[in-house]
Copies of this chain bind each other. A is one copy, B any other.
């Protein structure tokens, strides 16, 4: 049956495994096939036409594995490609930007929403666009935070270095008077504790931190339930596909997934 089919999730690399981790928490019965295009990471520095081309290749690979829906676990792809994927593939496509924007709009009272993301995501304007479609009074204050990805990949997620780095990125948001901060990159949930501490200390104890990986997982759950596509037959699973196996793959993947990685298959797109 369709409900029994796996969910397809893809990202340019391994960061999207934080979305898989959130999906596992919210939807423990689902079988998940994750594809990381590790041979071509990062997408953030590439042009939109190239990103769309790579995203189509990833999504087609998952469609060939009979997935019931595709989750784009990559902010760069979510910013430029979902409409094109929906048109070309005739399969439900969910992504990471709109759910985070929706959670932020629901949480804000002042209408000022802070977004921490990579320089590429901030420059794409994807968050202001998503927020503008949801609310006419809310506005986005974007803060590029380029050091957070390497901190997360290195596993430097607590202690003084991440604290001081996060503080420097949170201070402009505090000055701008935001009352919600969105983690607008799949790597950032690893730094969530430090970011929450700094946001509360520098902006205010009542300021909400929106984890877009978690907001996406909630969105996927609601979507599957509304269509009768949730899998109920026994425990779920995670299958990992990558286009290249980097040296530090197992270590970095386990960090993002929050669990040891099982079998990994290398695929050619």
Contacts and interface: CB of A to CB of B under 8 A. Distances in A.
Contact of A168 (B42, B153, B161, B165): B161
Contacts of A123: 247
Chain A binding surface SS class? helix
A176 interface: no
Most chain B Cβ neighbours within 10 Å, of A149, A153, A165, A247:
A165
A160 B149 CA distance: 19
Contacts of A39: 47
Contact of A147 (B45, B154, B160, B168): B154
A164 interface: yes
Interface in A108-152: 119, 123, 146-147, 149-151
A39 B47 CA distance: 8
Contacts of A168: 156, 161
Given A41-B45, A45-B41, A150 B146 contact: yes
A47 to B, nearest CB: 8
Contacts of A149: 150
A56 to B, nearest CB: 20
Contacts of A153: 146
A250 B149 CA distance: 24
A42 B44 CA distance: 11
Nearest to A246: B45
A150 B150 CA distance: 8
Nearest to A153: B146
A164 B119 CA distance: 24
Interface in A1-60: 39, 41-42, 45, 47
Given A123-B247, A147-B151, 11 more contacts: A42-B45, A119-B248, A146-B153, A147-B147, A147-B154, A147-B156, A150-B150, A160-B164, A161-B164, A161-B165, A161-B168
Leading 6 A-B pairs by shortest Cβ distance? A161-B164, A147-B150, A146-B150, A150-B150, A161-B165, A160-B164
